[in-house]
Amino acid sequence: MRQTSRFCNNRVNVQNRFSVALLLVTIIFLSVPKISEAQISLTAENVALGGGGTAYLTGYESLFVNPANLHIREKNYRLQIALFQGGTTFDTAVPFTNPANRFTRYRESMLPYTGSGSDRNFTDDLAFDEFMSRNFPGNRRFTQQQKQTDFYWFGMKWYGTDRSYGLALRSRTLSRHETGRGFYTAQPIETRDDELLIERSFHHNYQTLHELSFGYAESFTFLNGLIPRLSEFIIGIAPKIVVAGSSLESDYTNHYRSADGGQTWNREFGYSERSSGIFNGSDIGISPSEAATLTPSATLTDMLSPTGVGFGLDIGLTYLITFGSDLSVLRREDMPTEKSLRFSLSVNDLGAVFYYGEPRSISSPIMQEETERPSQTTDLYYQGAPGEHIFFLQQMDDSPFELVDQLNEDRFESLLPTSINAGALFQINRVKMMGDFSYQLSRTRFASNYPVGYFGIELRPLSFLPLRAGTRLAPNQSGYYSFGAGIETSRFDISGGIQLRTRTAGPTTEILGASMVGAKFYLN
């Protein structure tokens, strides 16, 4: 009787512990509210799977995504080494289906803009109705385009029985801009407050970061006592040193509102900008024509030169459940993980950068006035090159450059684009299914508060041939489907991926993102 009682009590304790673990995981994932559209990594596998990767990535790249996954091994090796891997996404206001033309536009958007703007006339490529449908469907106030480039110079992961370590150097460029609907049409939209609104605001952020990250992961024994033996909590942490290149943040607020059906229009407007490094060559606070002549010319080396230094931190937690014949939790030294269910949570880019290289902040006060309904519009679209806003806004009668009355050349700090990310992955032999969500914590314009989901699947018709596909679901953002493949052996992996923009009718041939072929090598 006593033995039976003990058995029942032990069984109840295990069930209670497992229930507590499930409740903890449920609370974690339900606590993630709105989400942003920024991709936290652009590796070959991740681009092919649509983005995310919080539960999927287990190599050295997980240092920047979820360091806990360093302690998950999906093939037998002790040391992973990788060189020169990267990826990019490049969204545009008009389509460029020709890859060579698209690459030229991408290269131009990397350097400060010095042209006349004549080659940005959207009527050369699209009719007005097509342009508005592509960028401002319904009553959308802003069109938003984002460019992101990640380049991994090198990466290493050492897998150990008790804990695992990683080291990597990454450079990334983030560029995101929003352009108001009112630049292209004088027709107002109706707000939820029953006001008429003409949105002629503009925002652009451009930032380059070089990051050296070192981290480790190990089993979290404190939580493992709450769960069955064939599952475990893994925690990882990866501090990093951040060196920043030239940066630019420009913010033009310009709203026209009418509460009486268009009889009276109230305008609220102001301008602010923070910049460092090469971008200080474009002076503002003078006439628009003079400002346009002072836009700097620069090489890529100038853009990447250090202008700031900072510190960042990536931390992660993964709950790994193995099943079937998978005993990798118990036999880490000789059995890779092949059948598992993973739940992951990470906080990325927790930190700040302090800019010291020719820092400058300029601004004007937010002003209000009664005015007539604006009628001037433009045929130019904004492509995203730093300093291009000078040319784009100077054509408007309400250009903000003469408003500036405050100048500050003190050093300033900028938060890293901190985000919280949640992901899940189901893996059984040659099939993986994954999903990710993320929420932007720091108040930057590198990501919006619109809900977004990343979903992907990986199939292996042959053990060495992974085929990947994925998509991003995001209101008010460009949709895409992604595809990729690779060759994976016991000694090396080669992978690549591509993202194709979608429209209402389905996929197009317009390339939204791509990854450079990534190669990894494994040593026992």
**Residue 226 pLDDT level (bands cut at 50, 70, 90):** low
Q: How far apart are CA 134 and CA 144, in angstroms?
A: 11
Residue boundaries of the structural domains of the chain: 32-523
Mean pLDDT for the chain overall: 81
Residue 308: which pLDDT band, with cuts at 50, 70 and 90? very high
Weakest-pLDDT range from 10-24, 142-156, 280-294, 299-313:
10-24
> By mean pLDDT, which of 301-310, 421-430, 471-480 is the weakest?
471-480
Does CATH place domain 32-523 in 1.20.120?
Answer: no
Question: Exposed e or buried b for every residue in 191-200, given b needs 16+ CB within 10 A?
Answer: eeeebbbbbb
User: Of 342-346, 404-408, 483-487, which gets the smallest average pLDDT?
Assistant: 404-408
pLDDT at 342: 92
Note the pLDDT tens digit of each residue in 38-87: 567 888 898 999 888 899 999 999 999 999 999 998 888 999 999 888 89
Query: Strand (E) positions, 296-374?
Result: 308-322, 339-355, 360-363, 367-371
Site of tokens 């993202």: 499
Q: Which of 401, 472, 464, 460 is nearest to 436 (CA)?
A: 472
Handedness of CA 504, 104, 117, 179 (dihedral sign): positive
Position 15 pLDDT exceeds 70: no
On the question of pLDDT at 213 being above 60, the answer is yes
Hey, how many other C-beta atoms are within 10 angstroms of the C-beta on 448?
Answer: 22
**Alpha-carbon torsion (179, 185, 186, 191), positive or negative:** negative
| The pLDDT of residue 8 | 42
The candidate with the shortest Cα–Cα distance to 247, out of 203, 296, 303, is 303
- Confidence (pLDDT) at 2: 40
Q: What is the DSSP letter of 15?
A: H
Rounded Cα gap, residues 500 and 250, in angstroms: 30
Burial 338-362 (b: 16+ CB within 10 A, else e): bbbbbbbbbbbbbbbbebebebbbb
Phi then psi for 40, rounded to 5 degrees? -85, -10
| pLDDT confidence of residue 4 | 41
- What is the rounded average pLDDT of the residues 494-520? 83
Long-range contacts of 440-445 (CB under 8 A, 24+ apart): 440/36, 440/38, 441/347, 442/349, 442/415, 442/416, 442/417, 442/418, 443/415, 444/205, 444/414, 444/415, 444/417, 445/176, 445/178, 445/203, 445/205, 445/249, 445/251
Indicate the pairing of strand 367-371 with strand 265-275: antiparallel
Q: Would you state the pLDDT for residue 12?
A: 37
What's phi and psi for 103, nearest 5 deg?
Answer: -65, -40
pLDDT at 28 over 50: no
